[in-house]
Amino acid sequence: MNVGILTIKCPDKPGIVALISNWVTTQEGNIIQLNQYSSDANNGTFFTRLKINFLNNTAPFKQRQHDFMPISKQLNAIWNLHDATKKQNIGILVSKYDHCLFELLYRWSSHELNINIPFIASNHKNGEKLAKQFSIPFYYLPITNKQNQEKQLLELAKNSDLLVLARYMQILSPEFIKQYKKNIINIHHSFLPSFVGANPYNQAYERGVKMIGATAHYVTEKLDEGPIITQKIEPVSHEDHIPELKRKGKHLEKLVLLNALHAEIDHRIISFQNKTIVFT
């Protein structure tokens, strides 16, 4: 099999789909999934995702990417052509709470998450035992000097395709985010934009909300303000004090993280103006 995923963001105009699908034909490809979205009927931005089965197995992806360049120029597009059969390298950052880490490792080990996990890094030693159980390299990077710690992290992450903050309770510096360049997914344990920052379950308890939530979002320089990928909620009552909120919230956190990660590794997400288009 030789399956590729083509994602495109470009100014909208008539004829884009014809242009792209004709190119697919010249590549002996069969479109097996196609989504598109236009931000506005007039002068909007056009987004598309195509899953293509290339019948001619022999051509390498680099060649196909090269072949697409004239089309992309015609469209003035930001685009990507991913090899869908290639597993992505996803580094995991974690602190004390390990339920999200656990879920990722369990889903990975049961072949549901088709990824490589090159490393787990943490500012605490808690996750080490778990990492060993699953035979994944664990790096203990305590924060004595934040700048140094992030330098080590960056070195560690340099070959990864994505970072997942699986309840990593540290704020990554703008420098780190700028230098890492690739996507970073965080789970915030509230229904954003409610309860940004520290201790959202405590904040939720204080406000007396009747539902708690969790949010997966891309990390940007502004804390908890990056584009939202997915959100889930669970009803609670006055009987639920902070420990119950935390217990019930764990499910949500795991669920939003998994959903976001599946969308990400399938290249279903395109960012636009601090929001996400998530093709389903």
Binding mask 108-147 for a second copy (x = CB under 8 A): --x-x--------------------x--------------
* CA 138 from centroid of its chain's CA atoms: 21
Q: Say if CB 256 and CB 187 are below 8 A apart.
A: yes
Contacting residue, 62, 87, 106, 143, with a second copy by CB under 8 A: 106
Does 233 contact a second copy by CB under 8 A? Answer: yes
Beta bridge partners of 49: 7, 35
Q: What is the DSSP pairing of strand 228-235 with strand 211-218?
A: antiparallel
Q: Could you tell me the smallest distance in angstroms from the CB atom of residue 34 to a second copy?
A: 5
The identity of residue 223, as a single letter, is L
Does 99 contact a second copy by CB under 8 A? Answer: yes
Strand runs labelled E in 76-142 = 78-83, 88-94, 115-116, 120-122, 138-140
Residue 80, H or E segment: strand 78-83
Contacting residue, 121, 254, 257, 261, with a second copy by CB under 8 A: 254
Contacting residue, 73, 178, 181, 238, with a second copy by CB under 8 A: 238
In the bound state with a second copy, the residue whose beta carbon lies nearer, of 43 and 179, is 43
Does 213 contact a second copy by CB under 8 A? Answer: yes
Does 102 contact a second copy by CB under 8 A? Answer: yes
In the bound state with a second copy, the residue whose beta carbon lies nearer, of 100 and 165, is 100
Tokens of 225: 């303000």
3-state helix, strand, coil split of the chain in percent (to 5) is: 35, 30, 35
Contacting residue, 6, 8, 16, 94, with a second copy by CB under 8 A: 16
3-state DSSP assignment of residue 229: strand
The identity of residue 184, as a single letter, is I
CA angle 220, 224, 229 (to 5 degrees): 80
Binding mask 21-40 for a second copy (x = CB under 8 A): xx-xx--xxxxxxxxxxx--
User: Which residues form the catalytic set?
Assistant: 224
Q: Report 180-209 residues binding a second copy (CB under 8 A).
A: 191-195, 207-209
Give the ranges where 135-234 is alpha helix by DSSP (H): 146-157, 174-180, 200-207
Cα separation, 113 vs 106, in Å, equals 9
Q: Could you tell me the smallest distance in angstroms from the CB atom of residue 209 to a second copy?
A: 6
Does 235 contact a second copy by CB under 8 A? Answer: yes
In the bound state with a second copy, the residue whose beta carbon lies nearer, of 44 and 148, is 44
Cα separation, 57 vs 256, in Å, equals 36
Does 57 contact a second copy by CB under 8 A? Answer: no
User: What count of residues does the chain have?
Assistant: 280
Site for a second copy, rule CB under 8 A: 13-18, 21-22, 24-25, 28-38, 41, 53, 55, 99, 102, 106, 110, 112, 133, 191-195, 207-211, 213, 227-233, 235, 237-239, 247, 251, 254-255, 258, 274-278, 280
